[in-house]
């Protein structure tokens, strides 16, 4: 528990204090957001500093490492010990940093080319393929089950197709988080709720190891998730409407990649569809819009992703953001409910699990 508090607190401090420094640096370098021409209501955001996700990712990595340094032993007193970095935490950091790096290159290309399009689709896919391959290999080496799971195994062993699942989850949720990052604070606020839930799930698994043998180093995962929660809250301080900085693809890719990694490593792959239901809905709205338009020439939504639909319907941006936070919270609450119901069904209360 102490390591989690240290990670969350340190990441929060680094993010909330480091983000204004980043804002000044990005303004000096003239690194700002490019707004799509059709988003006329967002034209005033043109030039707002972007790539703030770099601060979040750095905060998580530093906080994760520092959380493994023990300066006090309650039974002994002052001490200095460095706990080993375990496979689960390192894999989560790999997904975080790897996907963030792809987003960083995309953002860099946008700012360099002075347009809203960045890295090519081929470049993104090759990068995501490399991250997925490294993650799948590391997860297999760490003994992660290749069985498909909701909150427990479903009896479907994916075998070599587990790599495909990793690729789909990393890319799918990175894109989902990216699509949600269209309004001030929308992606960051909703992601904070999701990482709060994964902190609880991973910590719960760590306290009940006999019930969750499929999870890979859940204490490590809880530390990473707690650090990400702190980093997002610190960033949200500056990203809340009206945003003084945007996270950019480096931030949204990091969020989606880490969410996917946590779901894979805690054995809750399909539960992520509920927990991150807002991102799934955002992605689905784009797919529906494109498919329906190609088939009929008409649109289902005024604009996709569908948070823009409500803005075009007359909702103020802050209203859309807050109501979407509520929707994200409902998904998180449902996911935690499913997880706890399964815990009880496993006999958790009988075996003396955390209450």
Per-residue pLDDT of the chain (355 residues; tens, 9 = 90+): 789 999 999 999 999 999 999 999 998 888 766 555 455 555 455 668 989 999 999 999 999 999 999 776 666 667 778 889 999 999 999 999 999 999 999 888 877 766 556 678 888 889 999 999 999 999 999 999 999 999 988 999 999 999 999 999 999 999 999 999 989 999 999 999 999 999 999 999 999 998 998 899 999 999 999 999 999 999 999 999 889 999 999 999 999 999 999 999 999 999 999 999 999 999 999 999 999 999 998 898 888 888 888 888 889 999 999 999 999 999 999 999 999 999 998 887 654 444 4
Closest listed residue to residue 266, CA positions, set 348, 330, 208: 208
Name the residue among 310, 108, 88 with its Cα closest to residue 209: 88
For the chain, what is the domain count?
A: 1
pTM to 2 decimals? 0.91
CA distance 134 to 57: 19
Residue 351 inside a domain? The answer is no
Helices (H), 29-86: 53-66
State how far the alpha carbon of 330 is from the alpha carbons of 4, 102, 193, in Å. Answer: 25, 30, 10
128 domain residue, yes or no: yes
Range of the domain at 311: 2-345
Q: Is residue 16 part of a domain?
A: yes
Taking CA atoms, 174 is separated from 61, 128, 234, 251, 268, in Å, by: 19, 10, 21, 9, 17
Paired tokens of 105: 């290159």
How many whole angstroms separate alpha carbon 329 and alpha carbon 101? 28
Query: Residue 238: inside a domain, yes or no?
Result: yes
In a domain, 76, yes or no: yes
Q: Which residue has the tokens 């809203």?
A: 116
The end-to-end CA distance of the chain, in Å, is 15
């Amino acid at each position: 528990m102490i390591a989690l508090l240290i990670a969350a607190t340190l990441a929060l401090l680094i993010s909330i204090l480091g983000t204004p420094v980043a804002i000044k640096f990005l303004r000096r370098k003239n690194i700002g957001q490019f707004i799509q021409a059709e988003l006329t209501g967002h034209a005033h955001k043109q030039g707002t500093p972007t790539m703030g996700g770099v601060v979040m990712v750095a905060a998580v990595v530093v906080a994760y490492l520092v959380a493994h340094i023990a300066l006090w032993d309650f039974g002994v007193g002052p001490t200095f010990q460095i706990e080993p970095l375990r496979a689960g935490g390192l894999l989560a950091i790999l997904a975080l940093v790897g996907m963030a790096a792809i987003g960083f290159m995309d953002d860099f290309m946008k700012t360099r080319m002075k347009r809203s399009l960045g890295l090519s689709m081929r470049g993104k896919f090759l990068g995501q393929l490399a991250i997925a391959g490294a993650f799948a290999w590391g997860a297999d080496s760490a003994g992660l089950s290749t069985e498909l799971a909701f909150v427990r195994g479903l009896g479907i062993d994916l075998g070599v197709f587990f790599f495909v699942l990793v690729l789909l989850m990393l890319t799918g949720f990175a894109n989902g988080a990216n699509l949600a990052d269209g309004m001030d604070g929308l992606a960051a606020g909703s992601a904070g709720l999701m990482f709060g839930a994964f902190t609880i799930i991973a910590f719960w698994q760590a306290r009940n190891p006999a019930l969750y043998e499929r999870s890979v180093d859940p204490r490590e995962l809880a530390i990473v998730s707690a650090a990400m929660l702190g980093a997002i809250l610190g960033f949200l301080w500056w990203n809340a409407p009206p945003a003084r900085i945007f996270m950019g693809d480096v931030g949204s890719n990091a969020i989606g990649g880490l969410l996917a990694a946590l779901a894979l490593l805690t054995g809750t792959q399909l539960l992520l569809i509920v927990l991150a239901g807002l991102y799934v809905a955002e992605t689905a709205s784009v797919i529906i819009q494109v498919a329906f338009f190609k088939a009929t020439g008409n649109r289902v939504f005024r604009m996709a992703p569908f948070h823009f639909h409500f803005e075009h319907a007359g909702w103020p941006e802050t209203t859309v953001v807050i109501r979407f936070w509520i929707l994200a919270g409902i998904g998180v609450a449902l996911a935690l409910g499913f997880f706890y119901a399964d815990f009880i069904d496993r006999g958790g209360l009988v075996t003396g699990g955390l209450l």
